[in-house]
Every structure is written in C-alpha cells, then in structure tokens.
C-alpha cells in the first residue's frame, strides 16, 4: 500500500500576496507610516486564492516569508490591517519567517510541505528535493542580457493566482483518486 502524505502548502508573501511596487524588487519597499503600509495592494486574486487553499488543504497552509524582524513586523501589520485571517481562514500561528531565502527549506522540511508558491527561482532550487509541487509565481525579471530566466527543473510557472489554483487542483484531484 502506498503511503499518501497529507497535502500541505507554503505560500510566499512579497509579490505573491502583497503587490510589489517595483517589478523584480523585493518587499523592502515597506517603508513609511502604517497607513501607507496597509494600503499596499494585494496581488490580484491573492486573498481569494489563499482562502481557496485554506479550504482545499483543510487549513494546512503556511505563509513562509524571508525578511528581518522589522519587515516581519510590518508584514504582520499588513496581514492584520487587510483582515487576511478573517477573509481567508488562515490561522495567524501559521505565518513563518526566515532570514535567507534558502532557509525556507528548513520550514518546508519541518512542516512537511507538499506544495509551495514563490516568485523566486532560488527558493524553488532550495526546495527541489523537499517539495513535490512547486509553483514559480508571476512574471520573472529578465537577465542583464534581456533573456528570460530559466524556470527551475520540476517547477511549474504560474503567472496569476488562477494559474496557481488550476495547477494545485490538478495535483489534489490526482491525490483524491
């Protein structure tokens, strides 16, 4: 009999849930007062998508973000100020922070994640041997030579939240059989 792991998903915050102000920039734009921070828009469809994931994964959804203590605090302010927990059903205790992008692998291992959504190829490379279903989110910046960066092996490019949900549903439907 084949052992089936409960589906569990990790989702990045910057440029996956929270809209970035500069394409290709990180979420370090979180400067200014709290009102300006809370007014930072969500990525189109992100909170509806997160709510769908929380329901479909029976609450086994974690936000996993790379940032220092100051940005972690501001991220929590954005989440609370935009009523993310009520709107999506996400448990506030299921928000994780790390100091370096490759450290997301530590969380993925500990949480036994089966799926992960992130906009950074280096994160997906770090997760390659840990997370079966990886989704590279959003348009990717060009290299200095103007070329599109390659998608990491085993990673599915997803430009929008509907793309993410479609690909995730496909894996869950297969697991349900």
pLDDT tens column, 66-107 = 999 988 999 999 999 999 999 999 999 999 999 998 899 999
Predicted confidence (pLDDT) per residue in 38-50, tens digit: 888 999 999 999 9
Sheet holding 115-118, edge to edge: 95-98, 61-66, 9-11, 115-118, 133-137, 155-158
Segment 54-72 mean pLDDT: 95
Phi and psi, residue 89, nearest 5°: 85, 5
Segment 145-169 mean pLDDT: 93
Phi and psi, residue 21, nearest 5°: -85, -30
Q: What tokens does 100 get? A: 């370096």
Buried residues in 53-76 as b, exposed as e (16+ CB within 10 A): bbebbeebbbbbbbbeeebbebbe
* Structural contact between residues 62 and 50, judged by C-beta atoms closer than 8 angstroms: no
The Cα–Cα gap between 27 and 174 comes to 35
β 95-98/133-137 pair status = unpaired
Q: Residue 2: what pLDDT?
A: 43
Q: How many Cα atoms sit within 13 Å of 92 on the Cβ side?
A: 12
Please state the length of the chain.
177
How many C-beta atoms lie closer than 10 Å to residue 162's C-beta? 13
How many C-beta atoms lie closer than 10 Å to residue 154's C-beta? 14
pLDDT band at 176 (very low <50, low <70, confident <90, very high): low
The Cα–Cα gap between 127 and 38 comes to 30
Q: Residue 26: what pLDDT?
A: 42
pLDDT more than 70, % of the chain: 89
The Cα–Cα gap between 96 and 110 comes to 11
């Amino acid at each position: 009999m084949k052992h089936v792991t409960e589906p569990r998903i990790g989702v990045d915050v910057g440029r996956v849930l929270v809209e970035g102000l500069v394409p290709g920039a990180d979420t370090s734009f979180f400067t200014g007062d709290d009102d300006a921070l809370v007014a930072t828009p969500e990525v189109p469809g992100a909170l509806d998508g997160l709510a769908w994931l929380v329901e479909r994964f029976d609450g086994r959804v974690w936000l996993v973000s790379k940032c220092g203590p100051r940005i972690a605090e501001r991220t929590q302010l954005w989440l609370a100020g935009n009523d993310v927990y009520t709107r999506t059903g996400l448990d506030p205790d299921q928000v994780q922070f790390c100091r370096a992008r490759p450290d997301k692998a530590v969380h993925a291992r500990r949480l036994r994640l089966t799926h992960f959504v992130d906009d950074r190829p280096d994160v997906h490379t770090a997760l390659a041997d840990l997370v079966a279903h990886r989704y590279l989110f959003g348009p990717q910046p060009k290299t200095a030579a103007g070329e599109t960066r390659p998608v990491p092996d085993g990673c599915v490019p997803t430009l929008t939240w509907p793309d993410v949900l479609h690909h995730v549903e496909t894996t869950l439907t297969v697991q349900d059989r």
